[in-house]
Amino acid sequence: MTTATNVEPDIRPADPCAMVIFGASGDLTKRKLLPSLHNLLRNGLLSPNFAIIGVAMDPLTDESFRARMRDGLLEFGGEIDPMVRERSDALSYVQGKFDDPDTYIRLRERLQAVDKTHCPQGNTLFYLATPPQFFGVITTHLGAARLVSPPTEGGPWTRLVVEKPFGRDLESAQALNRELLTVFDESQIYRIDHYLGKETVQNILLFRFVNSIFEPIWNRRYIEHVQMTVAESIGIEGRGAYFDTAGILRDIIQNHMFQLLCLMAMEPPISFAGEEVRNEKVKVLHAVRPMEPEEILQRTVRGQYGPGVVDGQRVPGYRQEPGVAPSSTTETYAALKLYVENWRWADVPFYLRAGKRLAARDTEIVVQFRRAPLILLRDLSDHPQPNRLTIHVQPDERITLHFAAKRPGPKVRLAPVNMAFAYKDLGDGNPSTGYETLLYDCMVGDSMLFHRADMVEAAWRVATPVLDVWQALPPRDFPNYAAGTWGPRSANDLLAADGHEWVTPE
Ligand code: BG6
């Protein structure tokens, strides 16, 4: 993990490499990958020996590909650095179908040419920015075309970045892992999760393990429960055809939220080396016992939005969105109560909720501490709220500690007060898409922020039984929340049954 968006004198530029982007004519390349590479370049973090080869089916030439990328940069990255214009010959394009062996012959020729012109020293980063059905196909063809070298100590490297979704259940994720692992070694595979590129998410690890004051109370003795919310006010943004086959559990919870859970619940690693951190993270997922069907009915809630009002605008219901079946039973909201069954967390509920078209965009984690053991002031009219620590991941990046203080005056009265740290006070004005750190890390071989095969499978082991039960028992009350609200009422009941309530994001 680096802070690759900062210009730090002690961060070296990434290794020389040729980056091959499959699906280069798609949205991800234009919106995220190119703007991030542009930011890395501006910050001196790309090697001068760097080239990009786009591969896709669209009939483009090198020139028209460059023009498209330039337009994308202007649209999503703002102005273009003059250095980038000078280096536009580092961008080239290979047209071809992903399942056609000839595509890979042309790609090999292009890599050989780039090796002469840009000297990436034999290092190749393959990036699969394609729909998931091509992940296995492309990898197999790369292997067959002998474009993948085994890992060697200090020699040229070949690495593979795989976008989400990684499988749609345990079985398909295992099959995909097997397919990738016949061609690549696990140490060469970087399963990307853009949530882990967020500064505030990376900070969870540092917040917990660099400061000494939190760790002693970070356990079942002091923490009553933890709430995690990924709320989005947007709907499905024209991605109906994809989302209707996925649902929020697959789209957000199984990947992004389970990673947040790992960071919040993991044991201290012995170092910040990639494998050490990942070893501790995967143990959290192993400690979440998959639920039995009866438990799933009691500890999970799903919802789907109907028409409503978001930011003062009337918006259609999910079933009226383009690409969505008119009687769709896909969930756009889910809430789960999970237990991490280990000595640190036994009996502490972790409540996770995620939803589309909610009242606000907010990702936050609330750690609620146990109440003080004695109520010293029995006649107090205003009972103190339990202490809470809130990690606001986005959009307003902050960490807030909530506690009670005496109101000034002769009478003993309490006021809820906060201590707050705002990320913006650290003054990093560098533009960032969230992909910079991740791309830089792949190019220097730091895998800490990426999912490992066993992590993905452990996450699916928890999520798949829920999906199975939901599929076997189609919901009868969908749509069950109006767009622009905080989700279905049953999600409140989930916490109310334990005497808790969701903390509404501030
Ligand atoms: C993606 C999901 O992984 O994450 C989207 O597919 C979701 O549905 C997005 O909107 C949220 O990411 P962010 O960074 O905007 O919170």
Express each pLDDT in 67-76 by its tens digit. Answer: 999 888 888 8
> How does DSSP assign 257-281, residue by residue?
IHHHHHHHHPPPPSSS-HHHHHHHH
Mutation to probe ligand 1, out of 248, 252, 318 (largest number of atoms < 8 A from CB): 252
Ligand 1 atom nearest 236 alpha carbon = 8
Express each pLDDT in 78-115 by its tens digit. Answer: 777 777 777 778 999 999 999 999 999 999 999 999 99
**Mean pLDDT over residues 429-438, rounded?**
83
**Based on the number of CB atoms within 10 Å of its own CB, is 221 exposed (0-12), middle (13-18) or buried (19 or more)?**
exposed
Residues near 92 by beta carbon (within 8 Å), at least 6 away in sequence = 51, 52, 53, 54, 62, 65, 110, 114
Q: What is the rounded CA–CA span in Å between residue 128 and residue 136?
A: 10
**Based on the number of CB atoms within 10 Å of its own CB, is 217 exposed (0-12), middle (13-18) or buried (19 or more)?**
middle
Ligand 1 atom nearest 234 alpha carbon = 10
Q: What is the 3-state secondary structure (H, E, C) of 32-56?
A: HHHHHHHHHHHCCCCCCCEEEEEEE
Q: What is the pTM of this model?
A: 0.95
Answer yes or no: is pLDDT of 4 > 70.
no
Residues near 476 by beta carbon (within 8 Å), at least 6 away in sequence = none
Q: What is the rounded CA–CA span in Å between residue 427 and residue 197?
A: 18
Please name the residue whose Cα sits nearest to atom 6 of ligand 1.
251
In this structure, of 64-68, 96-100, 409-413, 477-481, the range with the lowest mean pLDDT score is 409-413
The percent of residues in the chain predicted with pLDDT above 70, rounded, is: 96
DSSP character at residue 163: P
Residues near 505 by beta carbon (within 8 Å), at least 6 away in sequence = 229, 231, 360, 362, 364, 392
Ligand 1 atom nearest 230 alpha carbon = 16
Going from the Cα of 443 to the center of ligand 1, the distance in angstroms, rounded, reads: 24
Q: What are the structure tokens assigned to 144, written together? A: 């067959």
Whether the Cβ atoms of residue 282 and residue 460 lie closer than 8 Å to each other: no
Answer yes or no: is pLDDT of 148 > 60.
yes
**Mean pLDDT over residues 369-382, rounded?**
75
Average pLDDT, rounded, for the chain: 93
Mutation to probe ligand 1, out of 28, 31, 192, 194 (largest number of atoms < 8 A from CB): 194
Band (5; pLDDT cuts 50, 70, 90): very low
Q: What is the rounded CA–CA span in Å between residue 126 and residue 19?
A: 6
Ligand 1 atom nearest 232 alpha carbon = 10
Q: What is the rounded CA–CA span in Å between residue 86 and residue 88?
A: 6
Going from the Cα of 252 to the center of ligand 1, the distance in angstroms, rounded, reads: 7
Which protein residues touch ligand 1 with a CB less than 6 Å away? 194, 232, 251
Question: Cis ω on the peptide bond leading into residue 395 (within 30° of 0)?
Answer: yes
Answer yes or no: is pLDDT of 8 > 70.
no
Going from the Cα of 367 to the center of ligand 1, the distance in angstroms, rounded, reads: 23
Which ranges of 145-272 would DSSP assign to H, the alpha helix?
170-183, 199-210, 240-246, 248, 258-265
Tell me, what's the pLDDT at 79? 76
Q: Domains in the chain, please, with CATH?
A: 17-163 (3.40.50.720), 196-368+452-496 (3.30.360.10)
Going from the Cα of 139 to the center of ligand 1, the distance in angstroms, rounded, reads: 25
Please name the residue whose Cα sits nearest to atom 5 of ligand 1.
251
Tell me, what's the pLDDT at 426? 86
Q: What are the structure tokens assigned to 256, written together? A: 């992004």
Please name the residue whose Cα sits nearest to atom 2 of ligand 1.
251
Identify the CA nearest to 33 among candidates 155, 145, 130.
Answer: 130
Alpha carbon 49 to its chain centroid, in Å, reads 30
Express each pLDDT in 49-63 by its tens digit. Answer: 999 999 999 999 999
Q: What is the rounded CA–CA span in Å between residue 55 and residue 23?
A: 6
Mutation to probe ligand 1, out of 251, 260, 357, 451 (largest number of atoms < 8 A from CB): 251
Mutation to probe ligand 1, out of 256, 356, 394, 436 (largest number of atoms < 8 A from CB): 256
Band (378; pLDDT cuts 50, 70, 90): low
Ligand 1 atom nearest 246 alpha carbon = 6
Going from the Cα of 349 to the center of ligand 1, the distance in angstroms, rounded, reads: 25
Neighbour count for residue 230 (Cβ, 10 Å): 25
Going from the Cα of 292 to the center of ligand 1, the distance in angstroms, rounded, reads: 29
Please name the residue whose Cα sits nearest to atom 15 of ligand 1.
232
Which ranges of 247-377 would DSSP assign to H, the alpha helix?
248, 258-265, 274-287, 293-299
For residue 420, the number of C-alpha atoms closer than 13 Å in the C-beta half-sphere is: 12
- What's the start-to-end Cα distance of the chain, in Å? 30
Please name the residue whose Cα sits nearest to atom 4 of ligand 1.
252
> How does DSSP assign 457-476, residue by residue?
HHHHHHHHHHHHHHHHS--S
Ligand 1 atom nearest 239 alpha carbon = 8
- Say whether 451 is catalytic: no
Phi and psi (nearest 5°) for 197? Answer: -85, -10
Tell me, what's the pLDDT at 78? 75
Residues near 140 by beta carbon (within 8 Å), at least 6 away in sequence = 179, 182, 183
Answer yes or no: is pLDDT of 379 > 90.
no
Q: What is the rounded CA–CA span in Å between residue 159 and residue 186?
A: 10
Tell me, what's the pLDDT at 377? 66
Tell me, what's the pLDDT at 9? 55
Tell me, what's the pLDDT at 212? 95
Going from the Cα of 194 to the center of ligand 1, the distance in angstroms, rounded, reads: 8
Q: What are the structure tokens assigned to 184, written together? A: 């690549």
- The active-site residue, picked from 256, 402, 451, 500, is 256
